[in-house]
Chains A and B, each alone.
Chain A
Amino acid sequence: MIDRVRKYVKAFSITTAAVLFMTPFSAIAQTNSASASSGNDRWLHVRVVSSDNKGETVRVNVPLELAEKVLPAINKDRLHNGKITIDRSEVQGVDCRALLEAIKTTKDGEFVTVQSHDSDVQVAKQNGYMLVHVTEKRWNEEKNSKEAKMTEKSRVEVKVPMKVVEALFSGGKDELDVVAALHALSAHSGDTELVSVKDGNDTVRVWLDSKNSSD
Protein backbone atom coordinates (compact mmCIF):
# COMPACT_ATOMS: atom_id res chain seq x y z
CA MET A 1 0.00 0.00 0.00
CA ILE A 2 2.82 2.33 0.98
CA ASP A 3 4.50 1.44 -2.29
CA ARG A 4 1.45 2.56 -4.26
CA VAL A 5 1.32 5.86 -2.35
CA ARG A 6 5.01 6.27 -2.97
CA LYS A 7 4.37 5.62 -6.68
CA TYR A 8 1.66 8.30 -6.78
CA VAL A 9 3.85 10.78 -4.93
CA LYS A 10 6.77 9.98 -7.24
CA ALA A 11 4.64 10.50 -10.37
CA PHE A 12 3.23 13.74 -8.99
CA SER A 13 6.70 14.98 -8.00
CA ILE A 14 8.14 14.21 -11.43
CA THR A 15 5.23 15.98 -13.19
CA THR A 16 5.49 19.03 -10.90
CA ALA A 17 9.27 19.16 -11.30
CA ALA A 18 8.90 18.93 -15.09
CA VAL A 19 6.35 21.77 -15.12
CA LEU A 20 8.49 23.94 -12.83
CA PHE A 21 11.60 23.13 -14.88
CA MET A 22 9.92 24.07 -18.17
CA THR A 23 8.25 27.27 -16.95
CA PRO A 24 11.38 29.48 -17.00
CA PHE A 25 12.23 28.23 -20.50
CA SER A 26 8.81 29.11 -21.84
CA ALA A 27 9.07 32.52 -20.16
CA ILE A 28 12.53 33.09 -21.67
CA ALA A 29 11.25 31.98 -25.06
CA GLN A 30 8.38 34.47 -24.78
CA THR A 31 10.74 37.26 -23.75
CA ASN A 32 13.15 36.46 -26.56
CA SER A 33 10.43 36.42 -29.18
CA ALA A 34 9.11 39.70 -27.85
CA SER A 35 12.59 41.22 -27.80
CA ALA A 36 13.22 40.02 -31.33
CA SER A 37 10.02 41.65 -32.54
CA SER A 38 11.14 44.97 -31.12
CA GLY A 39 14.75 44.63 -32.33
CA ASN A 40 14.31 46.63 -35.54
CA ASP A 41 12.07 49.28 -34.06
CA ARG A 42 12.70 52.96 -34.35
CA TRP A 43 12.47 54.89 -31.13
CA LEU A 44 11.67 58.52 -30.57
CA HIS A 45 13.42 59.94 -27.53
CA VAL A 46 12.71 63.17 -25.71
CA ARG A 47 14.98 64.46 -22.99
CA VAL A 48 14.37 67.63 -21.02
CA VAL A 49 17.08 68.69 -18.62
CA SER A 50 16.47 71.61 -16.32
CA SER A 51 19.53 72.86 -14.52
CA ASP A 52 17.71 75.21 -12.14
CA ASN A 53 17.68 74.56 -8.40
CA LYS A 54 15.17 71.69 -8.76
CA GLY A 55 17.35 70.07 -11.40
CA GLU A 56 14.71 67.95 -13.05
CA THR A 57 15.38 65.55 -15.87
CA VAL A 58 12.56 64.09 -17.95
CA ARG A 59 13.17 61.21 -20.31
CA VAL A 60 10.55 59.82 -22.67
CA ASN A 61 11.16 56.85 -24.96
CA VAL A 62 8.42 55.96 -27.44
CA PRO A 63 8.52 53.30 -30.14
CA LEU A 64 7.38 54.90 -33.40
CA GLU A 65 5.30 51.86 -34.24
CA LEU A 66 3.36 52.30 -31.01
CA ALA A 67 2.80 55.99 -31.69
CA GLU A 68 1.69 55.18 -35.26
CA LYS A 69 -0.94 52.77 -33.97
CA VAL A 70 -2.14 54.79 -31.01
CA LEU A 71 -2.50 58.19 -32.71
CA PRO A 72 -5.39 57.23 -35.06
CA ALA A 73 -7.37 56.07 -32.01
CA ILE A 74 -7.17 59.50 -30.39
CA ASN A 75 -9.99 61.81 -31.39
CA LYS A 76 -9.80 64.96 -29.37
CA ASP A 77 -9.93 68.65 -30.22
CA ARG A 78 -8.13 69.10 -33.54
CA LEU A 79 -6.62 65.61 -33.65
CA HIS A 80 -8.74 63.12 -35.56
CA ASN A 81 -7.63 59.86 -37.18
CA GLY A 82 -4.00 60.82 -36.79
CA LYS A 83 -4.49 64.17 -38.53
CA ILE A 84 -4.39 67.64 -37.05
CA THR A 85 -6.70 70.26 -38.50
CA ILE A 86 -4.95 73.56 -39.10
CA ASP A 87 -6.71 76.74 -38.18
CA ARG A 88 -6.36 79.00 -41.22
CA SER A 89 -6.03 82.06 -39.04
CA GLU A 90 -2.92 80.56 -37.44
CA VAL A 91 -0.98 80.30 -40.70
CA GLN A 92 -1.91 83.87 -41.55
CA GLY A 93 -2.69 83.23 -45.19
CA VAL A 94 0.56 81.36 -45.91
CA ASP A 95 0.05 78.54 -48.39
CA CYS A 96 2.20 75.90 -46.72
CA ARG A 97 1.66 73.38 -49.50
CA ALA A 98 2.87 75.77 -52.21
CA LEU A 99 5.79 76.70 -49.98
CA LEU A 100 6.72 73.06 -49.53
CA GLU A 101 6.44 72.41 -53.24
CA ALA A 102 8.79 75.33 -53.87
CA ILE A 103 11.30 74.05 -51.31
CA LYS A 104 11.12 70.51 -52.73
CA THR A 105 12.07 71.62 -56.21
CA THR A 106 14.80 74.01 -55.12
CA LYS A 107 18.45 73.11 -54.74
CA ASP A 108 20.18 72.81 -51.37
CA GLY A 109 20.93 76.09 -49.66
CA GLU A 110 19.53 78.72 -47.42
CA PHE A 111 15.99 79.79 -48.24
CA VAL A 112 15.05 82.25 -45.60
CA THR A 113 17.17 84.29 -43.27
CA VAL A 114 15.37 86.79 -41.13
CA GLN A 115 17.52 88.86 -38.84
CA SER A 116 15.67 91.14 -36.49
CA HIS A 117 16.48 92.96 -33.29
CA ASP A 118 15.04 90.16 -31.17
CA SER A 119 15.67 87.03 -33.18
CA ASP A 120 17.35 85.38 -36.14
CA VAL A 121 15.54 82.77 -38.20
CA GLN A 122 17.17 80.56 -40.81
CA VAL A 123 15.39 77.96 -42.93
CA ALA A 124 17.39 75.73 -45.24
CA LYS A 125 17.35 72.47 -47.15
CA GLN A 126 20.45 70.34 -46.97
CA ASN A 127 21.15 66.72 -47.92
CA GLY A 128 17.47 65.78 -47.87
CA TYR A 129 16.78 67.52 -44.57
CA MET A 130 14.86 70.66 -43.76
CA LEU A 131 16.74 72.73 -41.24
CA VAL A 132 15.26 75.48 -39.12
CA HIS A 133 17.41 77.53 -36.75
CA VAL A 134 15.88 80.14 -34.49
CA THR A 135 17.98 82.25 -32.14
CA GLU A 136 16.33 84.60 -29.69
CA LYS A 137 18.49 87.50 -28.57
CA ARG A 138 18.82 89.33 -25.30
CA TRP A 139 20.31 92.82 -25.16
CA ASN A 140 22.19 93.75 -21.99
CA GLU A 141 23.24 97.35 -21.48
CA GLU A 142 26.54 97.60 -19.68
CA LYS A 143 26.87 100.14 -16.88
CA ASN A 144 29.81 102.13 -18.23
CA SER A 145 28.97 101.77 -21.87
CA LYS A 146 26.22 103.18 -24.02
CA GLU A 147 26.40 100.15 -26.34
CA ALA A 148 24.19 97.21 -25.55
CA LYS A 149 25.73 93.77 -25.65
CA MET A 150 23.86 90.94 -27.29
CA THR A 151 23.69 87.50 -25.72
CA GLU A 152 21.82 84.43 -26.80
CA LYS A 153 18.52 84.00 -24.95
CA SER A 154 17.47 80.76 -26.56
CA ARG A 155 18.39 78.61 -29.51
CA VAL A 156 16.15 76.17 -31.36
CA GLU A 157 17.49 73.80 -33.99
CA VAL A 158 15.17 71.58 -35.98
CA LYS A 159 16.35 69.00 -38.49
CA VAL A 160 13.61 67.00 -40.20
CA PRO A 161 13.99 64.71 -43.22
CA MET A 162 12.23 66.25 -46.23
CA LYS A 163 10.26 63.04 -46.73
CA VAL A 164 8.79 63.50 -43.26
CA VAL A 165 7.81 67.09 -44.03
CA GLU A 166 6.23 65.93 -47.31
CA ALA A 167 4.33 63.19 -45.48
CA LEU A 168 3.15 65.70 -42.91
CA PHE A 169 1.52 67.77 -45.64
CA SER A 170 0.24 64.78 -47.60
CA GLY A 171 -3.24 64.91 -46.08
CA GLY A 172 -6.12 67.21 -46.88
CA LYS A 173 -5.83 70.91 -47.53
CA ASP A 174 -6.07 72.15 -43.96
CA GLU A 175 -4.59 69.24 -42.12
CA LEU A 176 -1.29 67.78 -41.02
CA ASP A 177 -1.00 64.02 -41.37
CA VAL A 178 0.97 63.16 -38.23
CA VAL A 179 0.66 59.39 -38.69
CA ALA A 180 2.05 59.61 -42.23
CA ALA A 181 4.91 61.73 -40.88
CA LEU A 182 5.63 59.15 -38.17
CA HIS A 183 5.54 56.41 -40.79
CA ALA A 184 8.04 58.30 -42.92
CA LEU A 185 10.16 58.89 -39.84
CA SER A 186 10.22 55.19 -38.99
CA ALA A 187 11.30 54.40 -42.55
CA HIS A 188 14.16 56.87 -42.19
CA SER A 189 17.42 55.03 -41.58
CA GLY A 190 20.14 56.16 -39.24
CA ASP A 191 20.15 58.12 -36.01
CA THR A 192 18.81 61.65 -36.33
CA GLU A 193 18.75 64.57 -33.96
CA LEU A 194 15.40 66.15 -34.75
CA VAL A 195 15.04 69.00 -32.29
CA SER A 196 17.45 70.69 -29.96
CA VAL A 197 16.44 73.59 -27.73
CA LYS A 198 18.59 75.53 -25.32
CA ASP A 199 16.62 78.05 -23.34
CA GLY A 200 18.15 79.47 -20.20
CA ASN A 201 18.43 76.63 -17.75
CA ASP A 202 16.46 74.19 -19.88
CA THR A 203 17.72 71.91 -22.57
CA VAL A 204 15.41 69.85 -24.77
CA ARG A 205 16.50 67.14 -27.17
CA VAL A 206 14.32 65.07 -29.46
CA TRP A 207 16.04 62.36 -31.45
CA LEU A 208 15.46 59.15 -33.30
CA ASP A 209 17.42 55.91 -33.10
CA SER A 210 17.05 52.16 -32.74
CA LYS A 211 17.73 51.95 -29.01
CA ASN A 212 14.95 51.56 -26.48
CA SER A 213 16.67 53.70 -23.88
CA SER A 214 17.93 57.27 -23.99
CA ASP A 215 21.23 56.57 -22.19
Chain B
Amino acid sequence: MMILAKIALGAVGTMAVATVYTFREGTIRVDVDEHREGGSHVHFWVPAAAVPAALHFVPDDKLQEAVDRSRDALPIVQIVAEELEKYPNVEFVTVDGEDEHVKVSVKDAKIYVDVQDHNDEVHVAVPVATIKDIVESVANRRQAQ
Protein backbone atom coordinates (compact mmCIF):
# COMPACT_ATOMS: atom_id res chain seq x y z
CA MET B 1 0.00 0.00 0.00
CA MET B 2 2.77 2.37 1.04
CA ILE B 3 4.80 1.51 -2.05
CA LEU B 4 1.80 2.12 -4.30
CA ALA B 5 1.15 5.48 -2.68
CA LYS B 6 4.78 6.50 -3.15
CA ILE B 7 4.75 5.38 -6.79
CA ALA B 8 1.50 7.23 -7.42
CA LEU B 9 2.83 10.35 -5.74
CA GLY B 10 6.08 10.13 -7.71
CA ALA B 11 4.18 9.66 -10.98
CA VAL B 12 1.83 12.57 -10.31
CA GLY B 13 4.73 14.76 -9.21
CA THR B 14 6.78 13.89 -12.29
CA MET B 15 3.80 14.51 -14.54
CA ALA B 16 3.15 17.87 -12.90
CA VAL B 17 6.79 18.94 -13.25
CA ALA B 18 6.95 17.63 -16.84
CA THR B 19 3.74 19.49 -17.72
CA VAL B 20 4.96 22.74 -16.19
CA TYR B 21 8.34 22.33 -17.96
CA THR B 22 6.77 21.49 -21.32
CA PHE B 23 4.32 24.38 -21.20
CA ARG B 24 6.70 26.92 -19.61
CA GLU B 25 6.83 28.89 -22.86
CA GLY B 26 3.15 28.46 -23.64
CA THR B 27 1.79 26.92 -26.80
CA ILE B 28 2.05 27.47 -30.53
CA ARG B 29 -1.42 27.56 -31.97
CA VAL B 30 -2.49 27.39 -35.60
CA ASP B 31 -6.12 27.53 -36.74
CA VAL B 32 -7.05 27.53 -40.41
CA ASP B 33 -10.68 27.48 -41.53
CA GLU B 34 -11.82 27.65 -45.13
CA HIS B 35 -15.54 28.34 -44.95
CA ARG B 36 -16.50 26.85 -48.30
CA GLU B 37 -17.45 23.51 -49.68
CA GLY B 38 -14.51 21.13 -49.41
CA GLY B 39 -12.54 23.76 -47.51
CA SER B 40 -9.99 22.53 -45.05
CA HIS B 41 -10.04 23.03 -41.33
CA VAL B 42 -6.72 22.72 -39.57
CA HIS B 43 -6.44 23.20 -35.84
CA PHE B 44 -3.41 22.28 -33.86
CA TRP B 45 -1.39 23.41 -30.93
CA VAL B 46 1.98 22.25 -29.71
CA PRO B 47 3.95 23.12 -26.58
CA ALA B 48 6.28 25.93 -27.64
CA ALA B 49 9.21 24.52 -25.67
CA ALA B 50 9.05 21.32 -27.72
CA VAL B 51 9.90 23.05 -31.00
CA PRO B 52 13.52 24.12 -30.26
CA ALA B 53 14.06 20.68 -28.73
CA ALA B 54 12.66 19.00 -31.85
CA LEU B 55 15.06 21.05 -33.99
CA HIS B 56 17.94 18.98 -32.62
CA PHE B 57 16.54 15.98 -34.44
CA VAL B 58 16.33 17.69 -37.83
CA PRO B 59 18.99 16.23 -40.18
CA ASP B 60 21.89 18.60 -40.87
CA ASP B 61 21.30 18.71 -44.64
CA LYS B 62 17.64 19.69 -44.19
CA LEU B 63 18.56 22.34 -41.65
CA GLN B 64 21.27 23.67 -43.95
CA GLU B 65 18.70 23.90 -46.74
CA ALA B 66 16.39 25.89 -44.48
CA VAL B 67 19.26 28.12 -43.34
CA ASP B 68 20.31 28.79 -46.95
CA ARG B 69 16.77 29.78 -47.87
CA SER B 70 16.36 32.08 -44.88
CA ARG B 71 19.91 33.43 -44.74
CA ASP B 72 18.85 37.06 -45.28
CA ALA B 73 15.83 36.85 -43.02
CA LEU B 74 17.40 35.14 -39.99
CA PRO B 75 19.30 38.14 -38.58
CA ILE B 76 16.20 40.30 -39.02
CA VAL B 77 13.97 37.76 -37.28
CA GLN B 78 16.52 37.46 -34.48
CA ILE B 79 16.58 41.22 -33.87
CA VAL B 80 12.80 41.51 -34.12
CA ALA B 81 12.30 38.64 -31.67
CA GLU B 82 14.75 40.19 -29.21
CA GLU B 83 13.13 43.59 -29.49
CA LEU B 84 9.57 42.31 -29.32
CA GLU B 85 10.19 41.11 -25.79
CA LYS B 86 10.15 44.79 -24.82
CA TYR B 87 6.67 45.28 -26.22
CA PRO B 88 4.36 42.75 -24.55
CA ASN B 89 1.01 44.22 -25.63
CA VAL B 90 0.95 46.05 -28.95
CA GLU B 91 -1.03 46.01 -32.17
CA PHE B 92 1.58 46.53 -34.88
CA VAL B 93 -0.59 46.26 -37.97
CA THR B 94 -4.34 46.27 -38.39
CA VAL B 95 -6.25 46.26 -41.63
CA ASP B 96 -10.02 46.63 -41.42
CA GLY B 97 -11.99 46.39 -44.62
CA GLU B 98 -15.52 45.58 -45.56
CA ASP B 99 -14.89 41.85 -45.68
CA GLU B 100 -11.32 41.42 -44.57
CA HIS B 101 -9.51 41.93 -41.33
CA VAL B 102 -5.83 41.49 -40.65
CA LYS B 103 -4.12 41.97 -37.33
CA VAL B 104 -0.50 41.45 -36.34
CA SER B 105 -0.10 41.96 -32.64
CA VAL B 106 1.82 40.98 -29.56
CA LYS B 107 -0.14 40.10 -26.48
CA ASP B 108 1.33 38.65 -23.30
CA ALA B 109 4.64 38.08 -25.11
CA LYS B 110 3.00 36.05 -27.87
CA ILE B 111 2.85 37.09 -31.53
CA TYR B 112 -0.61 36.81 -33.01
CA VAL B 113 -1.35 36.89 -36.73
CA ASP B 114 -5.07 36.93 -37.43
CA VAL B 115 -6.39 37.05 -40.96
CA GLN B 116 -10.05 36.92 -41.81
CA ASP B 117 -11.78 37.43 -45.12
CA HIS B 118 -15.22 36.45 -46.28
CA ASN B 119 -14.23 32.82 -46.88
CA ASP B 120 -11.15 32.06 -44.89
CA GLU B 121 -9.84 32.48 -41.41
CA VAL B 122 -6.28 32.01 -40.24
CA HIS B 123 -5.10 32.49 -36.68
CA VAL B 124 -1.53 31.87 -35.62
CA ALA B 125 -0.09 32.43 -32.16
CA VAL B 126 3.60 31.91 -31.37
CA PRO B 127 5.43 32.89 -28.18
CA VAL B 128 8.16 35.47 -28.90
CA ALA B 129 10.60 33.48 -26.75
CA THR B 130 10.09 30.45 -29.00
CA ILE B 131 10.98 32.40 -32.14
CA LYS B 132 14.10 33.62 -30.38
CA ASP B 133 14.98 30.08 -29.27
CA ILE B 134 14.47 28.68 -32.77
CA VAL B 135 16.63 31.36 -34.42
CA GLU B 136 19.36 30.95 -31.80
CA SER B 137 19.24 27.20 -32.14
CA VAL B 138 19.55 27.42 -35.94
CA ALA B 139 22.39 29.95 -35.64
CA ASN B 140 24.25 27.72 -33.17
CA ARG B 141 23.84 24.68 -35.40
CA ARG B 142 25.13 26.70 -38.34
CA GLN B 143 28.20 27.79 -36.38
CA ALA B 144 28.85 24.25 -35.21
CA GLN B 145 28.85 22.89 -38.77
A residues adjacent to B (C-beta < 8 A)? 1, 4-5, 8-9, 12, 16, 19, 30-31, 34-35, 37-38, 41, 53-63, 65-66, 69-70, 73-76, 212-213
Residues of B within 8 A of A9 (CB): 9
Sample of 25 A–B contacts (CB below 8 Å): A12-B13, A16-B16, A19-B20, A31-B89, A31-B108, A34-B85, A34-B88, A56-B95, A56-B97, A56-B98, A57-B96, A59-B95, A60-B92, A61-B93, A63-B83, A63-B86, A63-B87, A63-B90, A65-B86, A66-B80, A69-B79, A69-B83, A70-B79, A70-B80, A74-B76
Residues of B within 8 A of A69 (CB): 79, 83
Contact (Cβ within 8 A) A31 B76: no
Q: How far is the CA of A74 from the CA of B87 in the complex (A)?
A: 21
Contact (Cβ within 8 A) B1 A1: yes
Q: Which of B1, B2, B5, B76 contacts A70 (CB 8 A)?
A: B76
Interface size class of B (residues with CB under 8 A): 20 to 34
Contact (Cβ within 8 A) B91 A73: no
Contact (Cβ within 8 A) A5 B2: yes
Q: Which of B16, B83, B91 contacts A59 (CB 8 A)?
A: B91
Q: Which of B47-103 contact A (CB under 8 A)?
A: 72, 75-76, 79-80, 83-98
Q: Does B109 touch A at the CB level, under 8 Å?
A: yes
Q: How far is the CA of A207 from the CA of B50 in the complex (A)?
A: 41
Q: How far is the CA of A70 from the CA of B92 in the complex (A)?
A: 15
Contact with A along B7-31 (1 / 0, CB 8 A): 0010011001000100000000000
Q: How far is the CA of A53 from the CA of B98 in the complex (A)?
A: 8
Q: How far is the CA of A19 from the CA of B87 in the complex (A)?
A: 26
Q: How far is the CA of A5 from the CA of B95 in the complex (A)?
A: 58
Q: B92 to nearest A CB, angstroms? A: 6
Q: Does B6 touch A at the CB level, under 8 Å?
A: yes
Residues of A within 8 A of B1 (CB): 1
Contact (Cβ within 8 A) B92 A62: yes
Residues of B within 8 A of A5 (CB): 2, 5, 9
Contact (Cβ within 8 A) B2 A73: no
Q: A46 to nearest B CB, angstroms? A: 9
Residues of A within 8 A of B108 (CB): 31
Q: A186 to nearest B CB, angstroms? A: 14
